[in-house]
Amino acid sequence: MEHVVTRFAPSPTGFMHIGSVRTALFAFLWARKNKGTFILRIEDTDKEREVAGSVAHIQESLSWLNLTWDYGPQMSTPFGSCIQSERLPTYHAAARELIAKGYAYPDPYSAEEIDGFRRAAQANKEVFLFRKHRPKTFSEWDGKRPLRFLVPEIKRYEWHDEVRGDLSAGEEALDDFILIKGDGYPTYNFAHIIDDMHMGVTHVMRGDEFISSTPKFLSLYDALGIKRPKLVTLPPILREDKTKKLGKRDGAKDLLEYRKEGFLPAAMINFLAFIGWHPGSDRELFTLPELIEAFDISTIQTHGGSANEEKLLWFQHQHVKHLSDSEYKAAVMQSVFSGKEPENEERWNTILPLVRERAALSSTFTAEIDAGEYAYFFTAPEIDITLLPNKNSTLEVCRTHLKKILEILSSSDFSSVDSIKSAAWDYASQEGRGDVLWPLRYSLSGKKQSPDPFTIAHVLGKEETLARITGALNQIHA
């Protein structure tokens, strides 16, 4: 049975957006599904576009989602480094093999001459093909000039894609592309094929933008006598309006921005899996182990899916619901309090269940904290006595009810929300819940909108609850 090997091979050119991460996820799922190998390879041969810190950022992004790799940067492997710039001798050896076979030659032209060829083709309304200007004789490659692939045979290529089915392209897709640039670094078209060969990659997860280049890759496989890996073309991720592919210019965010906002890794993974894949049932909620079990290449879709953040929020709400109290506390404490114990931790522990009901994102919780939404749990609020009475009621009626509630709660059990509620509920039902409970809630929170008064009283405790009711009564008498 074939040992499955997949890879995720990003370029270190900036942040990771969800399109790249979805590719990593599918490659990871297929490797784990088949008890295979998942490789993280860094394709850093375009030094002009490289952004410092990107490799660490890529690793941090994948680690946040628990997409662990078997081989990657700074790891010992059977095939050498997983960083392309540290594999240059491998590409040069393959280049010299092609030269020896007569399938590669040094480019004799200047950039200006090539531009002239291109302009002439445009003027004649022709597709520019470098092979039409291929020199009749070749000089020896000195490693300083670009090295081009000499297409062995101009023909129509046919191939099978695991998602798209049988595909083909004509002669116009073949050309003498550059293998090694003038700076000694390989091009993507060359390096990824050599790396896949040495790393034993069996399945290449890729975007649909690579379909048009496939005949070039197939021609190179044939020239080197390389066994073709299985090609798995993933559907595009579209903008929310579905008019075009999502890109950095379209507002695609850095993956770690979602972490800052408080999204759970499980929610993000579940969301990404469903952009272009379907389990074949109505089920939508999956953990990572469940996705590994359910995932199959045969159910990857051909049409693009949109990156709908409303759906991501839905997944977030669902996964938050499935967290245990301790898991939810750990997630919030890490995101909101940077993993440190906050002051008044015991009181925060009683507040968190309230937060869980209304704020699925820790960023929402943080914003509410900054806006003072929870300040009344720690400091007695200032009371505007004109807001104490319920609508169509009076301060005198309000005073009567607060005095009675103070009396009731003074001898009540505060061990649970239900015990506080049961103590006051009969009186409130008899006298009018709005007239009784509105002034109680407002005297405790000082807010027009807040949790119910029994929940607030339980969080505050008996002593503080009675003190706040007394304070409100004193303001009425004043």
For 71, list phi and psi in degrees, rounded to 5.
-135, 140
Closest to 469 measured CA to CA, from 388, 413, 392, 393: 388
pLDDT averaged over every residue in the chain: 92
- pLDDT exceeds cutoff 70 at 478: no
End-to-end CA, the chain:
86
**Fold held by 377-477:** Arc Repressor Mutant, subunit A (1.10.10)
Domain segments of the chain: what residues? 324-369, 377-477
- pLDDT exceeds cutoff 70 at 248: no
- pLDDT exceeds cutoff 90 at 307: no
The residue assigned the tokens 């990871």 is: 28
360 with 330: CB under 8 angstroms? no
Position with higher pLDDT, 338 vs 11: 11
Given this model, what pLDDT does residue 326 score? 84
For 139, list phi and psi in degrees, rounded to 5.
-80, 170
Given this model, what pLDDT does residue 304 score? 84
C-alpha dist (Å) from residue 325 to 167, 269, 332, 353, 368: 51, 21, 11, 8, 20
Position with higher pLDDT, 305 vs 410: 410
Given this model, what pLDDT does residue 301 score? 95
Tell me the pLDDT tens digit for each residue of 276-292: 999 989 999 999 999 99
- pLDDT exceeds cutoff 90 at 242: no
User: Given its phi and psi angles, is residue 307 left (phi above 0), alpha (psi -120 to 50 degrees) or beta?
Assistant: beta
Query: Residue 251 contacts by C-beta under 8 Å, 6 or more apart in sequence?
Result: none
> Mean pLDDT across the stretch 59-83?
97
* Percent of the chain with pLDDT strictly greater than 90: 76
Closest to 257 measured CA to CA, from 328, 363, 338, 360: 363
The CA distance from 102 to 138, in Å, is 10
267 with 319: CB under 8 angstroms? yes
Per-residue pLDDT band at 151 (split at 50, 70, 90): very high
Other CB atoms within 10 A of residue 332 CB? 21
> Mean pLDDT across the stretch 355-373?
81
Given this model, what pLDDT does residue 250 score? 59
The CA distance from 433 to 425, in Å, is 8
Burial annotation 98-120 (CB, 10 A radius, 16+ → b, else e) = bbeeebbbbbebeeeeeeeeeee
Other CB atoms within 10 A of residue 83 CB? 18
| 3-class SS of residue 418 | helix
The CA distance from 133 to 136, in Å, is 9
214 with 169: CB under 8 angstroms? yes
* Percent of the chain with pLDDT strictly greater than 70: 98
The CA distance from 44 to 48, in Å, is 10
Lowest mean pLDDT among 201-205, 258-262, 283-287, 433-437: 258-262
Tell me the pLDDT tens digit for each residue of 19-61: 899 999 999 999 999 999 999 999 999 888 899 999 999 999 9
Given this model, what pLDDT does residue 346 score? 84
Angle, to 10 degrees, between the axis of helix 453-460 and the axis of helix 433-445? 40
AA letter at 298:
S
Given this model, what pLDDT does residue 116 score? 96
Per-residue pLDDT band at 370 (split at 50, 70, 90): confident
- pLDDT exceeds cutoff 90 at 353: no
DSSP letter string over 420-468? HHHHHHHHHHHH-HHHHHHHHHHHHH--SS-S-HHHHHHHH-HHHHHHH
